[in-house]
Structure 1
Amino acid sequence: MAITNQIQRFYTLRGKKINDVYVKNRMGVHNQGHYLSVSSPQTIAKQGTLTLSMVLSPSGTVSGLIDAGSLIFLNDNPLQLASIPFVRIDDGDACMLTSFEIDSLRNPDDFPLPENYYYPTVEQKNVSLSIATPLAELRYRLEKTEITRRIVSSLLSKTEQFLPASVEEYEITNRSNSPQTVTVVIPMPSLVNIVRKISRPREQDYTFLGSCAVTGHIHETFTRDGIKGIRMGSSFCDDRMVIAVPERDDLLIDLQEAFRLRNYNQDLVINSDGRFHHANPIIDGNDYGAAISVTVTIAARATVTFPVAKVLDFPMQKYSDNVSIPRRYTVDFPDVSTRDQLMAVTALRNYSEWLKRTIKIQENILFSLGLSSTYRDDKDGAIMISRLLFNELSYLLSNASVLDTKGQARFLECFDYPFNNSADVDFYSKLLLAVFPEIELDLCKKFVDSINDKDDELRFYHSYISDPVSQQHYLKELQDSGREIGSDIHIYAAKKSEGAVYHDLGSLTFGNPLRDKSEYTWYNTSYWIDLFPKLALRVLRDAKYTGKIDFITENWETLKKGFNYLISLDFDGDGIPEGRAGEVRNTYDNIPFAGVDVYDANLFVACLLAMIRMAEITGDIAEKERFEKMLGTAQATYDKLWYETTGKDGQPMAYYITCTGVQGEGRNTDVFTDQLVGLWQWIAMGEKPFLPQERVVKLLKTIFVNNRTPMGWATARKEDGSSVESDQGKDVWIASNYVLAQMLDFYGLESESKEVYRMMDKIIFDHGNSLNTAESVRPEYEKQVGEKVAGPHYIVASYPRPGAIYDILFLNAIKREWDLNPDSSFIESEKLQVIRSEIFNPQ
């Protein structure tokens, strides 16, 4: 029970509340007009590792498979239900460990009388679930027995993070005054040689509809190194799955080599001793799984636990360009003939250490939060922040598109936008730096190297990319007009300008993730002005937090080249690049900017400071002096955005306006929430703020009051608090809300900060978005076509940018360090390394 208490305190739903959160209050997907995002499967756990994991639903069913960046929906109800364990106590009736309402099945492919195929389920009032990602628990209270199904992940283990296995630990408590004989049957559908169908061929997302194979099944039992299990394979591929349990004197184990997924209770009949009644032949035309029965006698008022390992041995990561890349774990388990079984042995031997280390890291996070003045006396608040932090770990399991034998990894922006490591997005998150710093450094290096790339091949952008008719019309109009080819940069232009930073490292739509070519085509990002500032800050940040200062020295010449390209986009010579007037210039690609804009200005000032610091590190005095001179000019231009006025309620407002406009046109006094992003990241790497504290406090108060909506703080609001025109401006971006919350906290506005976090917690955990954090949500409830009532809606899910929440851990520690050493110019790398390692690398 001690472990259960450790997990359930972070987030627990009981009885009817589960249905309220995941069904009644479920957040819908916003129809953007030109695009409707994927409705991600609701999730409480992901069983596996980077690039390969199974999605576990709130009902305890396997509802999806994530394989090398592809999200495969497993919507077939018999398949899902075939992953549900059942239990029999003494000579009573069998009961499935789920509250899934079997008699509600209504799909054409379902059984006409489903109650004839399945055992009764547990009443929802007797079910609870807890989430502390990557851990989860499902608990079932029967008449005199309580059963916990605990999901244990290797993700935060010390040496087996990349093992494609998970362990389910079953904890059974006898609440009666007499011994009980309990049989638990753990079935698992075979996902080997699964059939994938592209779910939306006209869209860019990387999602599939999956169904189990009905031919070629090869199943066999095995005993090895103290465990017993079943291998599920296929005559058509090398992929295999294993389910296994340890041999123990107190456990009676029986193995069912195969059962038909659509014949659950008949094929899994058990005798009075808990053994399976009969074997089932494998006949083509059926989908199959395998099952293990475990029978144990439990003394009165006693508890027994046993683990079950589930292993996915899918050695190759396969992509749309027919490239296959071996997975990382194949290095550790080179013997193909025994690999799957040895992985099961490893999982069952070491899972208790996985669990212990995961809980230790979670305790470190909670302890670290408790050191801050904000949460020292607010245990509930610290628990809330902790679950928000844990939740973002799911990104590592869901979005990884490749992990090769050298440890190279890539991660999707999301399944809707299958670009690898979009730089404008990844900038916000320290998740990789915290958990896998070597992967983070490798990715950062790829973007530095991209500065030297040049590709003059012309391509179409935006809506033209997939519209041959529009392409033809444009080329004719271009010829007739006599305009220069490539001058319409967001329609038809070169792929990549030398000096520019890649937007991404390739799209899965076009091929494998290790091609390292930017393939975002909605806009031409060679002219975006936020990519290099984010990269410069990222390089310095990564070097300081890892202690690899040589990373700066080795890349300094390339960074200077990237900076010089960026400054060439300062067309009006005011010291801050503004890009091309009237054209998309940054990650907010739906918001019109003109002249100097507050988002990029704040980033650019922080970028100049980063370049100055790196020039000091490299000993490049001439460049340091050049950057310092440019800093003065840039700060003077930035300061022109400052605006003080009186709000509609008569209260003072003070903030940097959205943009200056050009020659009197396009000046925009909207209040932009994400206007301190450069300052935020600068402070979070142990550097002193570059804006006056009084000014920052004023603008934070203005944003907090003016930009609030029923669902959080909108990206922008007009100065009277009303809605802006652009959809991105209207929306509530989770990451920018996290940045706002952290800056409010850092500058002493603690109660306001907590309000922002509470709203984000509500979005994620009150609306069934666990392990699927959205990029943004609509500011108010809306009623879309086909919906009966107005409700909340998100834009895209499983997004990396909300990893911005991880900076709360670093900012809190940095604030404490400044309190101790207020006269220091900056916090040394050694101290930053300690902050990270004390939390994420427990000894």
Structure 2
Amino acid sequence: MNHSLEKMEFLVFSYITISASTWVEPHGRCTVVFSLAWSSPDVKFKKGSTYHRRYTKFYGTSPRSAINLAQDALMKYKHWEEEIDKWQTPILRDERFPEWYKITLFNELYFLVAGGTVWIDSDLSSSLPEDSDLPLHNSTCNSTVPLIGSSPPDFDDKENVGKFLYLEGVEYFMWCTYDVHFYASFALLDLFPKIELSIQRDFARAVLREDKTRVRFLADGTWGTRKVIGAVPHDLGAHDPWHELNAYNIHDTSRWKDLNPRFVLQVYRDFAATDDMSFGKDVWPAVCTAMEYIEQFDRDGDCMIENDGFPDQTYDAWTVLGVSAYCGCLWLAALQAAAAMARSLGHGDYADRCMVKFAKAKHVFEAKLWNGSYFNYDSGTSYSSRSIQADQLAGQWYTASSGLPPLFDEDRIKCTLQKIFDYNVMRVKGGRIGAVNGITQMGR
């Protein structure tokens, strides 16, 4: 094939070689330190939004800022290494932890920089279009809840941390998948709490947003709304994050029963851990709206939400019907967390209402699911309804992590955990691969 030079495209690579010379005496030693840095000041998403990366706040947007980055690395690397050693040494010397655990604990932190992360230094506009329709009635959560026709709050970057995105996996291209953030966020809260609060503020803003774009859901071929007001989004988007939410389109996540309780639980845990009243006040309207939204799934008025007979939670290949151990436990925990947060923010009446609902819902949950040794998978009559789900005490885990009272009697909690260990862990290859998500009483 013949091509004119004008039509051919060439890839041009630039190379640079650095060398250093020194004199080493016999049996002597010499260390030559090199520093490599590059400047890539902008990140551009597929649909056109472009932002400055976080480091540009300190080094500027010029490509030549790589010189200053490299110089700082040469001047400060010894101090950085000393600080890392001081941080890691207590854990590495702790004989309570097996060696494999210590190695994994630190090595897996690579994901924060190499696993598909974006850290920008930018404010985002979060106002709704003028014709947005907010289909929420006035909430019973005091005057702090947005009324019909209001816009989501635009939180200032009070902590000066910018905005942070990360992928669940490089093959799962969605930013900040919230069902998985439920687990991953513990590391961010412990190591980078201000970044964690920034992500929660992004989701709080997203709860109060709407996107009427029609989306086809892959599981059943039906069409629905991309983002419904009051529903916690599955993720912050893919090709235009923060603006075009919910890249996930297998199911309609506005009908999922676990995302809203997960949001309330994470927000309260972060609020309790940081004692940040400003954060609590910022996200409180979204907490109230999320709680009000999920109550529509209490079909019979008994204060306990029900699943709708399709995979309407993060286990998106598992059908759930009626009261379920996983979603029901999350809902109980969310009621307790919302009550505790309300009291801290001075909304005692709202806290009391939550605890009244909690008492009624707990009675229903235990009456329908407790079988003497664990909580049934759901209250349906299918083959899987009596399965043992490893995550059935997810809500209890979060209340314990947040310093809240236990959801159930201690004997029932211990009995359930023992059942999960005996079946979900030990009956699968002798416990060598950890817990499986679900298993029947027959060990299948």
- Give the structure-1-normalised TM-score: 0.44
- The answer on 1:670 being equivalent to 2:364 is no
TM-superposed deviation, 1:405: 2.3
- The answer on 1:347 being equivalent to 2:73 is yes
1:408 aligns with 163
TM-superposed deviation, 1:637: 1.6
Per-residue CA deviation, residues 607-665 of structure 1 (Å, 9 max, x unaligned), is: 11101101111221221121111011111122131113xxxxxxxxx11111111xx45
Q: Is the 8 A contact 1:366 1:382 kept in 2?
A: no
2:223 aligns with 492
Seen in structure 2, the aligned counterparts of structure 1 residues 296 and 412 have a Cα distance that, compared at 3 Å, is farther
Q: In the aligned structure 1, how far is the partner of 2:355 from the partner of 2:219?
A: 42
Q: Is the 8 A contact 1:658 1:672 kept in 2?
A: yes
SS of residue in 1 equivalent to 2:168: coil
- The answer on 1:318 being equivalent to 2:73 is no
One-letter identity of the residue aligned with 2:362? Q
Q: In the aligned structure 1, how far is the partner of 2:222 from the partner of 2:357?
A: 33
Per-residue CA deviation, residues 482-502 of structure 1 (Å, 9 max, x unaligned), is: xxxxxxxx7211222221111
Seen in structure 2, the aligned counterparts of structure 1 residues 425 and 294 have a Cα distance that, compared at 3 Å, is farther
1:721 aligns with 443
SS of residue in 2 equivalent to 1:312: coil
Q: Is the 8 A contact 2:207 2:286 kept in 1?
A: yes
Q: Is the 8 A contact 2:226 2:245 kept in 1?
A: no
- The answer on 1:454 being equivalent to 2:210 is yes
2:329 to 595, 602, 613: 602
SS of residue in 2 equivalent to 1:403: strand
Seen in structure 2, the aligned counterparts of structure 1 residues 607 and 335 have a Cα distance that, compared at 3 Å, is closer
Give aligned pairs, total.
390
1:685 aligns with 402
- The answer on 1:363 being equivalent to 2:118 is no
Per-residue CA deviation, residues 31-62 of structure 1 (Å, 9 max, x unaligned), is: xxxxxxxxxxxxxxxxxxxxxxxxxxxxxxxx
Q: Is the 8 A contact 2:41 2:61 kept in 1?
A: no
Q: Which has the higher helix share?
A: 2
- The answer on 1:545 being equivalent to 2:273 is yes
Per-residue CA deviation, residues 714-747 of structure 1 (Å, 9 max, x unaligned), is: 111111212xxxxxxxxxxxxxxxxxxxxxxxxx
One-letter identity of the residue aligned with 1:533? P
One-letter identity of the residue aligned with 1:713? A
- The answer on 1:557 being equivalent to 2:295 is no
One-letter identity of the residue aligned with 1:633? K
Unpaired segments ≥5 residues, structure 1: 1-212, 219-231, 233-256, 258-289, 371-377, 465-489, 645-653, 723-843
Bigger Cα Rg: 1
1:631 to 341, 351, 358: 358
Seen in structure 2, the aligned counterparts of structure 1 residues 546 and 457 have a Cα distance that, compared at 3 Å, is same
TM-superposed deviation, 1:686: 2.3
SS of residue in 2 equivalent to 1:426: helix
2:176 aligns with 421
1:297 aligns with 24
- The answer on 1:519 being equivalent to 2:247 is yes
1:396 aligns with 112
Q: Which has the higher strand share?
A: 1
Seen in structure 2, the aligned counterparts of structure 1 residues 632 and 298 have a Cα distance that, compared at 3 Å, is farther
Q: In the aligned structure 2, how far is the partner of 1:667 from the partner of 1:704?
A: 19
One-letter identity of the residue aligned with 1:417? Y
TM-superposed deviation, 1:339: 1.4
Q: In the aligned structure 2, how far is the partner of 1:637 from the partner of 1:540?
A: 24
Q: In the aligned structure 2, how far is the partner of 1:453 from the partner of 1:666?
A: 39
Unpaired segments ≥5 residues, structure 2: 1-8, 123-161
Q: Is the 8 A contact 1:401 1:513 kept in 2?
A: no
Q: In the aligned structure 1, how far is the partner of 2:164 from the partner of 2:400?
A: 28
One-letter identity of the residue aligned with 2:435? W
Q: Within 5 Å, which residues of 2 pair with 1:611-760?
A: 611-640=338-367, 641-644=369-372, 654-661=373-380, 664=381, 668-708=385-425, 709-710=428-429, 711-722=433-444
Q: In the aligned structure 1, how far is the partner of 2:322 from the partner of 2:29?
A: 68
One-letter identity of the residue aligned with 2:303? G
1:228 aligns with none
1:17 aligns with none
Seen in structure 2, the aligned counterparts of structure 1 residues 217 and 498 have a Cα distance that, compared at 3 Å, is closer
Seen in structure 2, the aligned counterparts of structure 1 residues 534 and 336 have a Cα distance that, compared at 3 Å, is same
Q: Is the 8 A contact 2:35 2:74 kept in 1?
A: yes
Q: Which has the higher contact order (CA 8 A, sep 6+)?
A: 1
Per-residue CA deviation, residues 44-88 of structure 1 (Å, 9 max, x unaligned), is: xxxxxxxxxxxxxxxxxxxxxxxxxxxxxxxxxxxxxxxxxxxxx
Q: Within 5 Å, which residues of 2 pair with 1:166-185?
A: none
Q: Within 5 Å, which residues of 2 pair with 1:2-81?
A: none
One-letter identity of the residue aligned with 1:655? Y
- Give the structure-2-normalised TM-score: 0.82
Over aligned residue pairs, what C-alpha RMSD do you find?
2.3
TM-superposed deviation, 1:666: 6.4
Q: Is the 8 A contact 2:212 2:227 kept in 1?
A: yes
Q: Is the 8 A contact 1:506 1:517 kept in 2?
A: yes
Q: In the aligned structure 2, how far is the partner of 1:634 from the partner of 1:666?
A: 25
TM-superposed deviation, 1:449: 1.7
Q: Is the 8 A contact 1:660 1:666 kept in 2?
A: no
Q: In the aligned structure 1, how far is the partner of 2:412 from the partner of 2:29?
A: 60
TM-superposed deviation, 1:337: 6.5
- The answer on 1:336 being equivalent to 2:67 is no
TM-superposed deviation, 1:572: 3.0
Per-residue CA deviation, residues 678-713 of structure 1 (Å, 9 max, x unaligned), is: 111211122232222222222222111112312222
One-letter identity of the residue aligned with 1:638? F
SS of residue in 2 equivalent to 1:594: strand
Seen in structure 2, the aligned counterparts of structure 1 residues 560 and 324 have a Cα distance that, compared at 3 Å, is closer
Q: Is the 8 A contact 1:400 1:409 kept in 2?
A: no
Q: In the aligned structure 2, how far is the partner of 1:596 from the partner of 1:405?
A: 44
1:5 aligns with none
Question: Percent same amino acid at aligned positions?
Answer: 27
Q: Is the 8 A contact 1:506 1:516 kept in 2?
A: yes
Seen in structure 2, the aligned counterparts of structure 1 residues 557 and 318 have a Cα distance that, compared at 3 Å, is closer
Seen in structure 2, the aligned counterparts of structure 1 residues 335 and 586 have a Cα distance that, compared at 3 Å, is closer
- The answer on 1:502 being equivalent to 2:229 is no
Per-residue CA deviation, residues 177-219 of structure 1 (Å, 9 max, x unaligned), is: xxxxxxxxxxxxxxxxxxxxxxxxxxxxxxxxxxxx965445x
SS of residue in 2 equivalent to 1:687: coil
SS of residue in 2 equivalent to 1:409: strand
Q: In the aligned structure 2, how far is the partner of 1:564 from the partner of 1:384?
A: 44
One-letter identity of the residue aligned with 2:103? R
SS of residue in 2 equivalent to 1:341: helix
One-letter identity of the residue aligned with 2:202? K
Q: In the aligned structure 2, how far is the partner of 1:498 from the partner of 1:321?
A: 23
SS of residue in 2 equivalent to 1:519: coil
Q: In the aligned structure 1, how far is the partner of 2:36 from the partner of 2:251?
A: 43
TM-superposed deviation, 1:291: 4.7
TM-superposed deviation, 1:402: 2.2
Q: Is the 8 A contact 2:310 2:318 kept in 1?
A: no
Q: In the aligned structure 2, how far is the partner of 1:670 from the partner of 1:428?
A: 23
Q: Is the 8 A contact 1:402 1:513 kept in 2?
A: no
